[in-house]
Amino acid sequence: NFERSPKSLDSDAVQDSLKQLRDSKTYIQQPESINGNSHIRHRQGKSVTKLGDKDAKESVPEKEIKIKVSGYLNLLANVVDNFTHGLAVGASFCISVKVGLATTLAILLHEIPHEVGDFAILLRSGFDWWRAAKAQVCVCASVCTSVRMSVCMCVCWKLTAWILPFTSGGFMYIALVTVVPDLLEEKHGWESVKQVLCICLGVLSMILVTICFDT
């Protein structure tokens, strides 16, 4: 009774070997199943690739929107800055022609490097050359509006004594809040020396402008 037929022994041996192969995860599949699995894996990889492409396409516009917003915020800050410049120029001409010319020259010396820097910021924010140039021209046009407004306020309401201190305080605030902290954080001695020399050069240029227009 305990003896087994050769067929049962062969079937038991085959089952044991298949079980061992399955446990070791090295069993061989039929060609159809292999092709089927490879096809499924290929489709899964393809679907993953499509999902990755979709995520990339969705992330790119979001990045562009953030970049464009930073550029527009810079333009808005420039509009406010140029508006105060126009107020200062208009109020200065209401005092005298010499004061107006001196203020205009000082603002021009200040604005030329400022506008170049703003143009570079717009380019890095995603604007092309033509759009950045048009945006800068539109921003500079706000100066004309603020000059007219300043002249009207000075002539009609005699606000010259208020406009100049207001604009001067704005310039001092920008210098003390944005420039001085950067100077204090500088760790290289030679860079600090160059920055101090540039500040002295700016003060000297204002003294020369005052002397030229006084004479």
User: What confidence score (pLDDT) does residue 186 get?
Assistant: 84
Within a 10 A sphere around the Cβ of 101, how many other Cβ atoms? Answer: 16
User: What confidence score (pLDDT) does residue 13 get?
Assistant: 60
Picking from 14-28, 61-75, 157-171, which range would have the lowest pLDDT averaged per residue?
A: 14-28
Q: How many CA atoms lie within 13 A of 196 on its CB side?
A: 8
Which residues, 6+ apart, have CB-to-CB distance to 18 below 8 Å? 27
Does the reported pTM lie above 0.75?
no
Which band of pLDDT confidence, cut at 50, 70 and 90, is reported for residue 43? very low
What is the rounded distance in angstroms from the CA atom of residue 26 to the CA atom of residue 44? 23
Task: Judge whether residue 10 has pLDDT over 80.
Answer: no
How many residues are recorded in the chain? 215
Structure-block tokens of residue 138:
């539109």
**All structural domains of the chain with their residue ranges:** 65-214
Q: Which helix (H) or strand (E) holds 142?
A: helix 129-157
State which of 27-41, 63-77, 78-92 shows the largest mean pLDDT: 78-92
Structure-block tokens of residue 68:
């464009």
Percent of the chain whose pLDDT exceeds 70:
68
User: What confidence score (pLDDT) does residue 63 get?
Assistant: 46
User: What confidence score (pLDDT) does residue 178 get?
Assistant: 80
- Rounded to a whole number of angstroms, the distance between the first and last alpha carbons of the chain is 133
Mean pLDDT of 71-93: 90
Within a 10 A sphere around the Cβ of 213, how many other Cβ atoms? Answer: 16
Within a 10 A sphere around the Cβ of 152, how many other Cβ atoms? Answer: 12
Give the mean pLDDT of the chain.
Answer: 76
Give Cα 28 distance to the centre of its chain: 57
Picking from 53-67, 68-82, 99-113, 132-146, which range would have the lowest pLDDT averaged per residue?
A: 53-67
Task: Judge whether residue 196 has pLDDT over 60.
Answer: yes
| Of 50, 61, 40, 195, nearest in space to 126 by CA | 61
Within a 10 A sphere around the Cβ of 163, how many other Cβ atoms? Answer: 20
Kindly report the backbone phi and psi dihedral angles of residue 137, in degrees, each rounded to the nearest multiple of 5, phi listed first: -65, -45
Task: Judge whether residue 99 has pLDDT over 60.
Answer: yes
User: What confidence score (pLDDT) does residue 202 get?
Assistant: 85
Amino acid at 182: D
Which residues, 6+ apart, have CB-to-CB distance to 86 below 8 Å? 142, 143, 144, 145, 146, 147, 149, 150
Task: Judge whether residue 123 has pLDDT over 80.
Answer: yes
**Spatial contact of 90 and 147, defined as CB atoms under 8 Å apart:** yes
Q: Distances in Å between the alpha carbon of 117 and those of 40, 52, 69, 132, 197?
A: 55, 37, 18, 12, 20
Q: Find tokens 């333009």 and name the residue.
A: 75
